[in-house]
Amino acid sequence: MTKNIRVRFAPSPTGPLHIGGVRTALYNYLFAKKNNGDFILRIEDTDQTRFVTGAEEYIIESLEWCGLKFDEGVHISGPHAPYRQSERKELYKEYADLLLAKGFAYYAFDSSEELETLRKEYESKKETFFYSSKTRLNLNNSLTISESEVKQKLLSGEKYVIRIKIPENEQIVVNDQIRGVVTFDSSLLDDKVLYKSDGMPTYHLANVVDDHLMEITHVIRGEEWLPSAPLHVLLYRYLGWEKEMPQFAHLPLLLKPDGNGKLSKRDGDRLGFPVFPLQWIDPKTKEIYSGYKESGYFPEAFINMLALLGWNPGTEQEIFNLQQLIEAFTIDRVGKSGSKFDPEKAKWFNHQYIQKKDNKTLAYLFAPVLIEKNISADIKYVEEVCGLMKERINFMSEMWDKSAFFFTAPSVYDPKLIKDKWKENSAQILTLFSENIVNLQNHNIDSIDAFINEFLTTNQLGKGQLMPLLRLCLVGNSTGPDITQIISFIGKTESINRINNCIQKVK
């Protein structure tokens, strides 16, 4: 019997989650659900100095909006609670002590200032300072001072950190699900701090301890963690957990659309697209960063777009709902190289999803806008308008601009359209038309069609002589659905009014 698959998404609450983070969460989720496993939200808040108010709530709300449901986590608890590392604080010391006892770690008493000075010194010699096997014996730690001195320092409450004792000349192998075997030379690793002087573990210790305790089977995280993966492997080994060590998968990064480099929070508004799922207002600076939700993206479209950024199904299918993504997803189809985010394609995805929505749903989304504009309209009418207009928009926010003429007469007339289509006899044709349409009995499309054809024949006119003019009168510009369609929607009385109005204004 194989172990139940368990994955975690483990952000630190240092700010809003950007789309790279959402994608990491998404891949974790898809992998878990594909394998009937659990998806866990753990908050990595071991650095109190970087805590940002509202960030945790933001993360939870964002993933909820995306439709990614957790099985366990800070917000819903679970068998391994608590899920916030600051609340698990006591737990980590025990493991740090265990490493100490086994001789895989040591106390270090060097102050940050002292280390900083050393770093500067090395830098001036064009070298890099490392706390490692090469330097540790010249520094202030439990390897260089006597046991009794160490005891005394600890007793007197002197600040200390606990560092891992990285072995010399060992090849550490990380077997990555995406990149294959990656080998590191331990001599190039430094003696990373595992336990900080403030009594908190660092990420390295905490994530290994928690992943083990929470029985995580697969660690799927960003590529920025690959360099510290050998350290984590070592920790599993030293803690005696190597046999149950999770599988690693390091995801490629999301790159900014212009130039190179990892996508950052400022790129979005700089380039005119959101980098955050939800709008974020910086609690300190009050700066506003736009979100996908507020920009009118459907969560399904957003998720679909994100899923295909770095992963592909190997088929030509591009439109996937969450369930289909779950079914299609496999880690081995995740690419190795970073992807640039393409705002244009993101729009296209949203367009696709608008087409799939039924008119009722769209009308429901559109209704608040109409209320705001003081328009009262029958809901059935709004539904039909939405049905007619949806193929012309990418976002619901465009609906009003493109369909206002269904609810209110145009107030401006496109000068270019007038210039191109308004002729000597235009007013005359329109007047004649409006006089005739009074007799129209039926507002269905066929009747209107028949009426128009008859009108054109009896007056020996071509379509081109009438239709563009009608469009000018009824819409105000050269966009929108079929004229017949529009007349049937707004009715003959309104059409006549608009025609007369237009003649007055244009001639």
Partner RNA sequence: GGCCCGUUCGUCUAGUCGGUUAGGACGCCAGGUUUUCAUCCUGGAAAUCAGGGGUUCGAGUCCCCUACGGGCUACCA
Q: Report the site for RNA in 245-304 (rule: CB under 7 A).
A: 252-253, 255, 257, 259-262
Using the structure block, give the residue that is written with the tokens 């007056």.
459
Q: What is the C-alpha to C-alpha distance for residues 382 and 410, in angstroms, rounded to an integer? A: 18
100, 392, 450, 456: residue in contact with RNA (rule CB under 7 A): 392
Q: Tell me which of 219, 480, 488, 495 binds RNA, using CB under 7 A.
A: 480
**Under rule CB under 7 A, residue 319 binds RNA:** no
- Residues binding RNA: what is the number (CB under 7 A)? 84
Query: What CA–CA distance (Å, rounded) separates 114 from 139?
Result: 10
Nearer to RNA (CB atom), residue 305 or residue 363: 305
Interface with RNA (CB under 7 A), residue from 168, 185, 242, 435: 185
Site for RNA in 408-467 (CB under 7 A): 463-464, 467
The answer to whether 162 and 100 have CB atoms below 8 angstroms apart is yes
335 binds RNA (CB under 7 A): yes
Q: Could you tell me if 298 and 66 are in contact, meaning their C-beta atoms sit under 8 angstroms apart? A: no
Interacting positions 358-377 with RNA (CB under 7 A): none
Q: 158 vs 372, which CB is nearer to RNA?
A: 158
Helix (H, G, I), strand (E, B) or coil at 375: coil
Q: How far apart are CA 167 and CA 185, in angstroms?
A: 10
Least distance to RNA, CB of residue 477, Å? 8
Stretch that binds RNA, among 54-62, 186-194, 277-285, 373-381 (CB under 7 A): 186-194
Q: Which is nearer to RNA, 185 or 446 (CB)?
A: 185
| Residue 45: φ, ψ to 5° | -115, 50
Residues 15/46, Cβ–Cβ less than 8 Å: no
Using CB under 7 A as the binding rule, whether residue 487 contacts RNA is answered as no
Written as six digits, the tokens of 482 are 């079929």
Instruction: Select from 40, 41, 208, 308 the one that contacts RNA (CB under 7 A).
Output: 308
With the C-alpha atoms ordered 444, 448, 449, 454, is the resulting torsion angle positive or negative?
A: positive
Among the listed residues 183, 374, 376, 439, the single contact to RNA using CB under 7 A: 183
Q: Judged by CB under 7 A, does residue 350 bind RNA?
A: no
- CB of residue 312 to RNA, shortest distance in Å: 4
**Within 13 A of 149's CA, how many CA atoms are on the CB side?**
10
CA-to-CA distance for 105 and 165, rounded, in angstroms?
5
Residues 6+ apart with CB under 8 A from 198: 48
Q: Nearest approach, Cβ of 268 to RNA (angstroms)?
A: 15
Does position 196 interact with RNA (CB under 7 A)? The reply is yes
Q: Which is nearer to RNA, 368 or 462 (CB)?
A: 462
Contact region with RNA (CB under 7 A), list: 32-40, 52-60, 219-227, 288-296: 219-227
Of the candidates 77, 75, 80, 40, the one whose C-alpha atom is nearest the C-alpha of residue 61 is 75
The smaller minimum CB distance to RNA, of residues 226 and 303, is found at 226
Closest C-alpha among 232, 230, 236 to residue 183: 230
Say whether 265 is catalytic: yes
Q: Which of 470, 459, 454 is nearest to 421 (CA)?
A: 470
AA identity, residue 490: I
- Is 401 an interacting residue with respect to RNA (CB under 7 A)? no
Q: Shortest approach of RNA to residue 428 CB, angstroms?
A: 19
Binding segment (CB under 7 A) for RNA, from list 1-9, 178-186, 268-276, 372-380: 178-186
Per annotation, catalytic residue among 34, 262, 265, 421: 265
In contact, 423 and 469? CB cutoff 8 Å:
no
Handedness of CA 401, 405, 410, 412 (dihedral sign): positive
- Identify whether the C-beta of residue 23 lies closer than 8 Å to the C-beta of residue 17: no
Q: Which stretch binds RNA (CB under 7 A): 76-84, 92-100, 374-382, 473-481?
A: 473-481
Binding test (CB under 7 A) with RNA, winner from 225, 381, 395, 400: 225
User: Which residues are annotated as catalytic?
Assistant: 265
